[in-house]
Each structure stands twice: as C-alpha cells, then as structure tokens.
Amino acid sequence: MDEGATRRDRQRAATLADIKAVARRLLVSGGVGAVGLRAVARELGLTPPALYRYFPSHEALVTALIADLYDELTGALMELQAADTDADLGARLFLLTNGLRDWALAHPSEFALLFGTAIPNPDAEDHADTPGHQAAMRFGAVFKDLVAQIWHWKPFPYPADEDLGPVLLAQLQQETEEFQGMPAGAIYLALSYWVRLYGLICMEVFGQLHWVLPDAGAYFEAQLREIGEELGLDCPPPE
C-alpha cells in the first residue's frame, strides 16, 4: 500500500469535511447567499485558488452540501425506523413524517436549502448521476417505499384513470415502477398526501402558521390521522 497516497487521501478527505462544515455554518448564519467560495476560504485560512482544487465553483460546493444534508436527513429517518422495528404501518407513517418535521424545525436553514432548491430533472444527462440528485432520490425512496408497502398490504380506494385526465394520467403512469406497481390513481393520492404534509411543514418552518397556531404539532398530527384513516391504517390516538 502506498502510505503517502493514503495519507494524502486522508488529508484531502479531512479538508473536504472542513470546507463543507464551514459552508454549513455560513448557510445557517446567513442563508445560501453567504455560502461563497471566498468566504469559506477566508474562514479556513485558505487562498481561493487552493479551495478551487476541491470545489471548482459555488454550484459544486452547494451541490455537495445538499447531498450531505439529504443523506443526513435520510439517515435520521432510517435510525428512527430501525429503533422501532415492531411499529405497524400506521405507526411508521407517524414516525417518519414526524421525524421529517422535527428535523426541519431543528434545521430551518438546511431545510430551506434542500426543499427550496429544485431537484434536477433526472432525464437530463448532466444531472441524473450528480450526488445531489442521487441523495434526493434516496430520501424520496423512504416515503415511496412506505406508501407502496401500505398499498400492497391493503389497497386503498383511488380515482379512476378517466377522472385524472390524459395529461396527468400519462405522467403518473410513468412512475408506476418507482412506486412498486401502484396504479396511477393510487400514486395520485400518495402525491396529494405528500404535498399536503410537505406544505404544512414548509408553512410551519417559514413562520406562516403562527397567526393561528403558535404550536402546529397537534394540527400536523390531526392531518396525519386523517390521511392514515383514508389509507386504512390504524393511527395513534390524539394526546
């Protein structure tokens, strides 16, 4: 083994970790606009040209940060799931969605970067294999797998194809494989529920519910129970 090369690899990995840690601190303190290459280099005592050897552009740095944050969030959700292997599907719905909400409220700047940044089109050759896109897909798979398991356990009522219209139907049918064979109408409902819950989390994180709900937790769980009941799940009672 080339010990010199291994040492260089370790040093490079440590510098990469330091760069992304500083970028995250800047994100939290000043938003994505504060995550500049010069600002990061200044914090680390590096020259900008030295930093360019690790990240050639602002976009490359932000994309790497997005990938790390998605993986952190996905890892947190998987840890929650692994800690309660006896949870039924209704309990898992609550576990994972509350886990997402908790992470978002604890990391509002990071959440804003992840969910305020468009996921690149997977059909575009230059984006499909980027770390940021792949990490986003790993996160999405957590909830896709859950809804597919719910569907295969006990199929829930869903709109007929003719009720969706040809344009929407064609798009949803392209996602059947991603949703493990679910029909278009069932995918439509899953997407509707996701938008509903995601929208609630966004409104809470960005302070758009304070005018009526100082603490939106009980409202979020009430919405979860409604969705769970529509999916035919046994959900935890309100506390």
74 token code pair: 């996905």
What pLDDT, on a 0 to 100 scale, did the predictor assign at position 230?
A: 93
| Rounded-to-integer distance, Cα 35 and Cα 40, Å | 7
CA angle 199, 205, 209 (to 5 degrees): 75
Model confidence at 126, pLDDT cuts 50, 70, 90, reads: low
The pLDDT of residue 65 is 94
Mean pLDDT of the region 115-120 = 69
**Residues above pLDDT 70, as percent of the chain:** 92
Q: 110 pLDDT exceeds 70? A: yes
Q: pLDDT tens across 8-65, in order?
A: 888 888 999 999 999 999 999 998 888 889 999 999 998 888 899 999 988 889 999 9
Q: Predicted confidence band at 111 (pLDDT cuts at 50, 70, 90)?
A: very high
pLDDT category, 235, cuts 50, 70, 90? confident
**Tokens 């295969």, residue located:** 152
What are the tens digits of pLDDT across the range 70-79? 999 999 999 9
- Range 134-143 average pLDDT: 92
197 and 97 in contact (C-beta within 8 Å)? yes
Q: Which tops the pLDDT comparison, 85 or 103?
A: 103
pLDDT above 60 (res 125): no
Is the pLDDT reported for residue 119 higher than 70?
no
On whether the pTM is more than 0.85, the answer is yes
For range 158-171, the mean pLDDT:
97
The more confident residue out of 238 and 171 is 171
CA atoms within 13 A on the CB side of 199: 7
Average pLDDT, the chain: 90
Look at residue 1 in the predicted model and tell me its pLDDT.
47
Whose CA is closest to 44, among 2, 73, 69, 14? 14
Q: Which of 112-116, 126-130, 233-237 has the highest mean pLDDT?
A: 112-116
